[in-house]
Amino acid sequence: MEVNLNIGGGSLKISVDAAITSFLSGLGSISLLKEAQRMTLNAFLAGNNVFALLSSGFGKSLIHQVAPFVIGFVDLIGRSQPQ
């Protein structure tokens, strides 16, 4: 998934996958999100209300931990671009 930022009359595409990979690399034990986790996170980041019915131990909490990091990553990249 990519996020488009409108900056100074131009547009910048930022890969959400790059932000997720950056976050997960800091954990060490998890290198990829499961497909259901990725779909849930992408729907949430797209502004949709999300209800994820996933089994115990599937990694629902990881979705909640990744989301603020991804939002912050996109915000940081957007602010670092010249206006």
- HSE (side-chain half, CA atoms, 13 Å) at 64: 6
pLDDT for res 49:
92
Rounded Cα distance between 54 and 21, Å, is 22
How many structural domains does the chain have? 1
pTM tops 0.75, yes or no: no
pLDDT tens readout for residues 18-43: 888 888 988 888 888 999 998 898 88
Domain span holding position 47: 2-80
All residues at 6 or more sequence positions from 44 whose CB lies less than 8 Å from its CB, including other chains: 50, 63, 67
